[in-house]
Amino acid sequence: MAQEPYPGDAFFIAFQREVRALYEQQGQTLDLENVVWASRTAYDIGAGLSREMSMAKHLAELRRALGMVPPEGSFPTVRRNGDRLVRPDGSPWDYFGVSAFQLLAVEPARQDDFLGWVASLGLTEPVVRVFTTAVNLFDLHPADGYARLFPLLEKAAGHRVRVEAVALCDTSLRSFDFAQHLRLVRALPYGNLLVEGANEPLQSFQANVRNLVKQPGGQAVVYAAGAADDVNDESNEFATGDYLTVHSSRSDGERGWRWVRHTKECWYDRRIQTGLYPVNDEPRRDDLTPAKHFALGCMAWICGGGDLFHYAGGRFAQRPVEAEATALAARIQGWRARPPDFRGSFFNAGWTGSPVRSFTGALRCYSARQDNVAYTVALDAENVGIEFGEGFRVVDEQRVNGSRDSRLYRLERR
């Protein structure tokens, strides 16, 4: 990459203005620290960092020096524990959330409104998935995305919301130091931050970041290398972090249920193959059938994975409306259908120990069992008939909006 010329007066005037604003936010008077921060910025530019990234990096370090980063422990960090993500006390944390790609690029008032809405959904520490740079859907320079990430994380923490920050997007369309940007994002000391290395690192809009994102970093932040295609078995290649993001099948077929049914491969199969907690973080967004979204919400915890509601408005950090809002409500009903203390093991119909021996009139029946309690979700189940095994019987049934197309059964054995 071309060497950056030494910055002129205009750069240092702009930098000093930003430094002074941070001091004033903390009720402090600007002092000779200004000289230190400016010289550090110039040094990095001389070493090859872009002006924009250097300013963003050192303003971030100044925020930490001024105590503007929330103290450790103010928001419970998550870490990997086998194929789970857990809080510091060891309790499991479930990744459930919504797309919000453009959230770093919109005005603060819209950020506040969106985060407040996410907090109102009734989920425990929900996730918003944001891009830290972009070219195609909207224009966000990586230096701007990085600088704006700090206040967004602080706002999100106030709403008890986690942020999954995607570091590298559209890299074939903009030249910048990919490794430096990824390294800076991964180093941020925020308990509510998760980092995904790249959005679909093998897509045509990405430069050669394949090996870069697969490198384990050693930073405290929980990290996923990057979502790849589950259908073509690309996702296992990126199982090098703390959790695994996968873009599952979006295909039609099987009366429109194939993309729902195939998510089992994303969740259960990938978890068994990689030993990581799998997250379906960009599923199909143009099929808003509530029964399918209810089934997906149930399948996530039955199969042992995380789930994100992806929708057209979510690409631009807009609240869902009309059919999107109805689909999200069905998805949340599915997510919240599991009691907090239930952590069952996955069973396919007919497996030894499965609460379902066989079925007819449905596409699939997937179950999770914990001792004498089990849950079974039936897909495309208008005319389903189930033979339960292991002495289980139905004690409750849930549907969405009265639909019989997907059903969740609570089973007990006495």
Fold classified for 79-335: TIM Barrel (3.20.20)
Count of alpha carbons within 13 angstroms of residue 140, beta-carbon side:
27
Judge whether 41 and 15 are in contact, CB under 8 Å. yes
**In the chain, domain spans:** 9-65, 79-335, 345-413
DSSP state of 6: P
Residue 175 tokens read as 């030249």
Q: Is 375 left (phi over 0), alpha (psi -120 to 50) or beta?
A: beta
Instruction: Give the residue, 173 or 43, on which the prediction is more confident.
Output: 173
Q: Is the pLDDT assigned to residue 219 strictly greater than 80?
A: no
Residue 108 pLDDT > 70, yes or no? yes
CA distance 114 to 176: 29
Query: Is the separation of the CB atoms in 337 and 408 below 8 Å?
Result: yes
- Average pLDDT, integer, range 191-212: 93
Q: What is the pLDDT of residues 145-160, one digit of tens each?
A: 998 898 899 899 989 9
* pLDDT at residue number 1: 41
Please name which of 20, 96, 18, 22 lies closest in space to residue 51, comparing C-alpha atoms.
18
Token pair in block for residue 198: 């790249």
Query: Percentage of the chain with pLDDT > 70?
Result: 92
Q: Rounded to an integer, what is the distance from CA 153 to the centroid of its chain? A: 14
In contact, 314 and 128? CB cutoff 8 Å: no
Handedness of CA 85, 88, 89, 94 (dihedral sign): negative
Q: Between vectors from CA 195 to CA 194 and to CA 197, what angle results, nearest 5°?
A: 160
Q: Write down the H helix ranges in 312-398.
A: 323-335
Q: What's the pLDDT tens digit per position in 313-348?
A: 999 999 999 999 999 999 999 999 999 899 999 999
Residue burial 72-101, b: 16+ Cβ < 10 Å; e: rest: eeebbbbebeebbbbeeeeeebbbbbbbbb
Average pLDDT over residues 205-228: 86
Three-state DSSP class for 343?
coil
Quote the distance between the C-alpha of residue 182 and its chain's center.
Answer: 16
Tens-digit pLDDT profile for residues 376-387: 999 999 999 999
Cβ neighbours of residue 249 closer than 8 Å, sequence gap 6 or more: 230, 231, 258, 259, 262, 263, 265, 266
- Cα(38)–Cα(13) distance, rounded to whole angstroms? 10
**Confidence band for 198, pLDDT divided at 50, 70 and 90:** very high
What sign does the CA torsion over 266, 269, 270, 272 have? positive
Work out the mean pLDDT of the chain and round it to a whole number.
89
Q: Confirm if 406 and 399 have CB atoms less than 8 A apart.
A: yes
Q: Determine the distance from the C-alpha atom of residue 93 to the mean position of all C-alpha atoms in its chain, rounded to a whole number.
A: 13
| Mean pLDDT calculated for residue range 53-79 | 76
Determine the pLDDT at residue 227.
82
Q: What CA dihedral angle connects 191, 197, 203 and 205, to 10 degrees?
A: 90
Question: What's the pTM value of the predicted model, to 2 decimals?
Answer: 0.87
List, for residues 251-303, the tens digit of each pLDDT value. 787 888 999 998 998 899 999 999 999 999 888 899 999 999 999 999 999 99
State the DSSP H helix or E strand holding residue 26, giving kind and residue range, or none if neither.
Answer: none
- CA–CA gap between residue 21 and residue 237 (Å, rounded): 44
Per-residue pLDDT, 66 = 81
Confidence at residue 366, expressed as pLDDT on a 0 to 100 scale: 97
- According to the model, what pLDDT value does residue 161 have? 96
CB 237 within 8 A of CB 245: no
Range with the lowest mean pLDDT among 29-33, 108-112, 206-210, 353-357? 29-33
Q: Kindly tell me if the per-residue pLDDT of 3 is higher than 60.
A: no
* pLDDT grade for 61, boundaries at 50, 70 and 90: confident
pLDDT band, residue 2 (cuts 50/70/90): very low
Q: Of the spans 22-36, 107-121, 247-261, which averages the highest pLDDT? A: 107-121
Residue type, 101: F
pLDDT greater than 90 at residue 7: no
> pLDDT per residue over 364-414, tens digit each?
999 999 999 999 999 999 999 999 999 999 999 999 988 999 999 999 998
Which residues sit opposite 348 in a β-bridge?
A: 366
